Amino acid sequence: MNVPRLALAAVVSWIVSIVLGGVVNQFLFAGIYKQHAQVFRGQGDMNLPLGFASTLVGFFLFTYAYAKGYEGGNGLVEGMRYGILIGLVLICFGIVWEYVVFPVSSQLLMLWIFDNLIEFAIFGMIVGYIYKPSPKPAASSR
């Protein structure tokens, strides 16, 4: 396992997630979030450092799992497939349950699902592009 490349992939993915999350949440979804304002914490009540730290840990786990399952194919393609798979897992275990528990519209649910699939495909492609396994040591000839 190539730990330096794994760490680089995790940090780059994390930075992209912050930027992408800002664009999606502050601009693209701003209107629908205003319609659901009563469901969300106010900006001043959010613990953003906790969220960002948790996401960074999550990206290290995300890249570690990718590295453990890496099959040697095209990194971008493998990464995209992996990202979509993880996105679907998160949708099933988390996003649908947010809809079940919190009073949000089905429109917001569909946007969250679509966004999750796209973002995790992107994160997977970043990891697949950056991560390269450690070179195998040359076999000694005797």
User: pLDDT, tens digit, for every residue of 39-52?
Assistant: 999 889 999 999 99
User: In the structure, what pLDDT confidence band is assigned to residue 137 with cuts at 50, 70 and 90?
Assistant: low
132 or 49: which carries more pLDDT confidence? 49
- Read off the pLDDT of each residue in 11-21 and give the average, rounded to a whole number: 98
For residue 8, what are its two tokens?
């680089």
- Split at pLDDT 50, 70, 90, the class of 129 is very high
* Domain positions in the chain: 3-39+57-130
Name the pLDDT band for 57 (thresholds 50, 70, 90).
very high
pLDDT at residue 140 is higher than 70:
no
- Contact residues for 94 (Cβ-Cβ < 8 A; gap 6+): none
| pLDDT(71) > 90 | no
Angle value at C-alpha 109, between 36 and 27, nearest 5 degrees: 60
Q: Which is more confident, 141 or 78?
A: 78
Rg (CA), the chain: 18
pTM greater than 0.75 (yes/no): yes
Indicate the average pLDDT of the chain.
94
Alpha helices per DSSP H over the chain: 3-23, 30-35, 48-69, 75-90, 96-101, 106-130
Helices 106-130 and 48-69 meet at what angle, rounded to 10?
Answer: 50
Answer yes or no: are the C-beta atoms of 117 and 91 closer than 8 Å: yes
